[in-house]
Amino acid sequence: MAKSPLAVAILGCGRIADAHAELIRGLESSRLVAVCDLEPLMAKQLAVRFGVPNFYSDFSELLRIEKPDVIHITTPPDSHLALSLQAIAAGCHLFVEKPVALDYEQIRTIVGAAAQNGRKLTVGYINQFDPAAVEMRHLIADGAIGRPIHLESFYGYNLAGPFGTAIIREPDHWVRRLPGQLMQNVIDHLVNKVAEFIPDDEPLIEAFGYWNSEARLHDDLRAMIIGKEVSAYATFSSRIRPDAQMLRVYGTKNSLTVDYTARTVVLNSHPTFPSVLGRLVPPFSQAWRQFRSGTRNVRRFARSEFHYFQGMRTLLSSFYDSILLDKEPPLPYPELLRTAKIMDRIFGQVIGKQA
């Protein structure tokens, strides 16, 4: 069994690798031993900026010399399948950035290889471990909303941001080569929240995409996902402002709203006061719940548990614990596979149709 601190290496030294390096350095259960990129200058810059002892441009060499316990794969997704299988074959546990791979079949192959070789696998579904998401799960487990029966998942995206601008500017950007293009790089965060609640293997799916002729890609999506017990509406939008991230869970007793940007969870319950008082009091009780949600965040901040990438911090910490204590990884594999399958079916209905 691996010993703490785990020896971790990062493969792929682009923008997102900075967040990984920062968080790996900040955890007691891990130490960043090496980084690797096909372009040696990129590997060197990450190593220098984060004080990493070694850098490589050859992944095989890194695996042979460093023998890391864990590999973080932060390369473009079309390389994930081959690199993941290589890392698993070398005995490494895997943290793979989303999107995990190009389609369901590739993801199934990676998950299967990890399970077969007794290696742990997790994916950068960081919103699922955001303080608000964790709090939501506690509330649901405590029966605060009864049985969930419907969800509304919203994910806003700013196409004018630095990454979006690069996609628009570069006609051969790797995001354009993904089967689901821009949506595939983003909507894991939209769909995985739904897949957590809809256990069906083959839910009914109706999806519609809006084509942006200037950017030459689909930049808005509406999808309906209907399971036997639970249904969901999923909205991805590059046009709606603010570009928030929200989840509304409707239950048989109450509903709750998770705001991932403000990191708040607010329970929407039935008015407890009779008559007109039932119309007068709710705004104040809502304000009180918002206030309490805010004060919980202040307490988290005071305890240094409110980092910008707090969800990823929690995910990493849980993942490393699962390796060190030989527990189940934080993201259940069936949930990863359901997310992948729903995404494939959405792309199948949207891509190629320039509505």
Partner 1 sequence: MRALITGAGGFLGTHTVRRVLARTPEELRLLCRSRPVPLEELRARYPQTSIRTEKGNLLSSTDMERALDSVDTVFHLAAELKGAPAEMFLNTVVGSKRLLEACSHVRRIVLVSSFGVYGTAHLRRGAMVDELTPLDKQPERRDAYSFVKLHQELLFREYQQKLGYELIVLRPGVIYGPGNASLSTRIGVNFPGFFLHVGGSNLMPLTYVENCAEAIAVAGSQFAVDTVNVVDDDLITCREYLGRYKRTVGGYRSVPFPYSAAIGLSGAVEWYNRKSRGQLPAILTPYKAAVLWKGNRFRNDRLKSIGWKQLIPTCAALGKTFDWIARDKRTTVDD
Q: Which residues bind partner 1 (CB under 8 A)?
A: 13-15, 17-18, 22, 26, 39, 41-42, 45-46, 48-49, 162, 166, 169-170, 301, 304, 306-307
**DSSP letter assigned to residue 97:** P
Nearer to partner 1, 46 or 336 (CB): 46
- Report which of 84, 63, 64, 85 is spatially closest to residue 74, judged by C-alpha positions: 84
Nearer to partner 1, 45 or 109 (CB): 45
Smallest gap, in angstroms, from Cβ of residue 171 to partner 1? 10
- Report which of 104, 77, 109 is spatially closest to residue 182, judged by C-alpha positions: 77
Nearer to partner 1, 8 or 114 (CB): 8
Question: How far is the C-alpha of 33 from the C-alpha of 26, rounded, in Å?
Answer: 14
User: Helix-strand-coil percent breakdown of the chain, rounded to 5?
Assistant: 45, 20, 35
Smallest gap, in angstroms, from Cβ of residue 39 to partner 1? 6
Nearer to partner 1, 12 or 77 (CB): 12
Nearer to partner 1, 242 or 283 (CB): 242
Strands 93-96 and 30-36: unpaired
Smallest gap, in angstroms, from Cβ of residue 55 to partner 1? 13
Query: Listing from the earlier edge strand, what are the strands of the sheet with 30-36?
Result: 54-56, 30-36, 6-11, 70-73, 93-96, 121-123
Smallest gap, in angstroms, from Cβ of residue 45 to partner 1? 5
Smallest gap, in angstroms, from Cβ of residue 35 to partner 1? 11
Q: Residue 69, Cα to own-chain centre: how many angstroms?
A: 22
